[in-house]
A and B are shown apart, each in its own frame.
Chain A
Amino acid sequence: MAHNNGARGPAFYFLAAFFALFVAFLYGPMLIIFVLSFQGPTGGLTFPMRGISTHWFADLLSSSRYGDLGGAFQRSIMLGFLSMSITAVVCLFAGLAFRRKFWGAGPLFYLSIISLVIPGILLGLGISQLFQLLGLHLHWWLSALGAHLSWTLPFGLLIMFAVLNRFDPSWEEAARDAGATPRQILAYVTIPILFPGLIAVALFGFTLSYDELPRSLLTVGGLNTLPIEISNMTTNVTTPALYAIGTMTSALSFLAITTAFIAIAVIQKRRARAHGDQAE
């Protein structure tokens, strides 16, 4: 509350220290496993470091001891992209629909919220048993994708609500007034204006799916996703290979986050500053 008085009081420094401690608490352990993943070949799960190497990364990629990591990784990436695309498209249109009153809007909203708050494994149980009852086989690209969507869609919808809060419907009316067809309005006005928000929705769609565990466990069928493989490793693997996989998957998450942030920043910057003739 140092807002109006110029000097920063002791409260500021106390709170700043508290905040710094929290950030250390949030990132510290992660940084430690990143460091430990570069253990030498004789190194263990804790300090001290016995040399620095990429031994455990190589071990992870070459050894068959860790199961089908490569396949699991591929499947998780595919699932991530599928969830991302479906979430972005479905939530865009659903968000637009929720601006108007329609029959069933309330129940659908509550169903989405319920999907967020109930234990994921329970939903996985429901989906797997439903498939069983219908005589369908579980597949990562069908039942697990559905389970992931039950998680990414409600999040995407809530973000769309926040994004649309700042979307002025008179932009669409102005386009209609200029003679634009509904399709032109969508392509030239609605989607371009909402694009930074859609990137955020896509980021949620990808990362939430890529890291999803409880909903996947019972719905994935015969071929596992990466988080399931990693969760199995937590009980079986007692070498720094565990940290190496952690470092790799986190690096991928950070890559996704950075890409999304940069894309949003670039768009915002373009909109805030003078620029030459615009591409179509």
Chain B
Amino acid sequence: MSDQSRIDIQNVTKTFGGINAVSEVDLSIEGGAYCCMIGPSGCGKTTLLRMIAGHETPTSGTISIGGQDVTSLKTGSRGTALMFQNYALFPHLTITDNVAFSLKVRGQSADARREAAREMLDRVQLLHLANRVPSELSGGQQQRVALARALITNPKVLLLDEPLSALDEFLRLRMRVELKRLQSDLGITFVHVTHTQPEAIALADQVVVMDHGVIEQAASPREIYNKPHSPYVARFMGGQNVLGGTVERVSDNTAIALSPDGTRYDLPDANDVKPGDKVRFSVRRDRISLADKAQDASNSAFGQVTNIEYQGTFVKVSLDTGQREEFIAYVDDEEYFAAPKEVGQKVYATWKPHLNHLLRGTNDSAGMPHE
């Protein structure tokens, strides 16, 4: 199964009225992987998904599924099934007939296809509603019908367009678990478009972060989170502070960068920069300690507390460091309440030098991190 459901996207561009929705994208998704495509609206993720599904044809480039070039193959005959954002259930058909629809258009007899549809409905625990019409179902039930309808043809690839966005928070978390379980049961490739970072991180084997029609980074969630490629990825995925400076010197694989306010930072694994380069780097917000006095002038930030938010397991403290972006520390609640801060207070934020991560990508746009 796994080779059959591998997706290779090569140099794909899609132009709408002279504007590139997707530009020269290269991407390989392993067969049987759970891939999440994420980015702000308008970043091209949905267009890329629709091109894999065959609802849009690439302006140039090729798309292969299981090694077969499907670029100009009709949708419905390329082994993909798309689950629509609003589910797009047919309002005039019972859910049995909704699920059986693709068998109907393939010419299967009414009895055979209804039997198959019932089996599929049983699998998503909706058999008892088989004769209802979609308007009588709850959002979660509709979502499962859409899933059953998509899966009935045994697709090699299931494409999901923001499948959880219409559900409330509680249901969303539950369906997230079900999706993941279903995917590992079926062993087919899932490509899931979302704009919610925790969803992508929780579900995916491979996260694809997009912006302005290009892929910023495609990697495992841990890599994306710990080693973002660019300031944009760091900001969009959240949980990071992005800082900047100029390289002073490089020695032993470590670059020393000097920030405009005179603080020095050690950047590990940075032998590809040279003195004088302007660099950006990130540091995770949850790895930062706050102190009233400076211990070491380097690898720290100094600023005034502008906001304090209790988050249950940690406390979010925002600092104004005189830079463009506010600096945020997620302080463990026990540690914080041992030495509480006040708004207006001046504090030092410090962290271990090896936590600095050099951002090699140039995309410096703000992103819209969902906390």
Residues of A in contact with B (beta carbons under 8 Å apart): 168, 170-171, 173-181, 184, 188-189, 192-193, 195, 271-278, 280
Contact = CB atoms under 8 A, between A and B. Distances in A.
Interface stretch (B100-108, B230-238, B245-253, B264-272): B100-108
A202 B132 CA distance: 29
B82 A188 contact: no
Given A171-B88, A174-B84, A178-B101, A277 B131 contact: yes
A174 B55 contact: no
Contacts of B104: 188
B150 to A, nearest CB: 8
B105 A177 contact: no
Nearest to A187: B105
Given A171-B90, A178-B149, A193-B92, A274 B132 contact: yes
A193 B91 contact: yes
Given A174-B89, A274-B132, 17 more contacts: A168-B86, A168-B88, A170-B85, A170-B86, A171-B88, A171-B91, A174-B88, A174-B149, A175-B90, A177-B53, A178-B102, A179-B76, A179-B105, A188-B101, A195-B92, A271-B91, A271-B133
Interface string B93-132: 1100100011011100010001000000000000000011
Contacts of B149: 174, 178
Nearest to B152: A178
A105 B77 CA distance: 33
B135 interface: yes
B88 A178 contact: no
A87 B126 CA distance: 42
Task: Please name the 5 residue pairs, one residue from A and one from B, whose CB atoms are nearest each other, closest first.
Answer: A179-B76, A178-B102, A170-B88, A174-B88, A180-B105
27 contacts: A168-B88, A170-B86, A171-B90, A173-B55, A173-B88, A174-B88, A175-B90, A175-B105, A176-B75, A176-B76, A177-B80, A177-B81, A177-B82, A178-B76, A178-B102, A178-B149, A179-B76, A180-B105, A192-B92, A193-B91, A193-B92, A271-B91, A271-B92, A274-B133, A275-B133, A276-B131, A277-B131
A112 B76 CA distance: 38
Interface residues of B, number: 36
A193 B84 contact: no
Contacts, number: 88
Contacts of A188: 101, 104-105
A272 B133 contact: yes
A273 B83 CA distance: 25
B183 interface: no
B136 interface: yes
B28 to A, nearest CB: 23
Given A168-B86, A271-B133, A272-B133, A278 B81 contact: no
B11 interface: no
A41 to B, nearest CB: 54
Interface in B129-164: 131-133, 135-136, 149-150, 153
B102 to A, nearest CB: 3
Contacts of A176: 55, 75-76
A178 B103 CA distance: 8
Contacts of A278: 93-94, 97
Contacts of A170: 84-86, 88
Contacts of B85: 170
A193 B86 contact: no
B345 to A, nearest CB: 48
A168 B86 CA distance: 10
Contacts of B89: 174
B106 A179 contact: yes
A193 B93 CA distance: 9
A196 to B, nearest CB: 10
B55 A177 contact: yes
B137 to A, nearest CB: 11
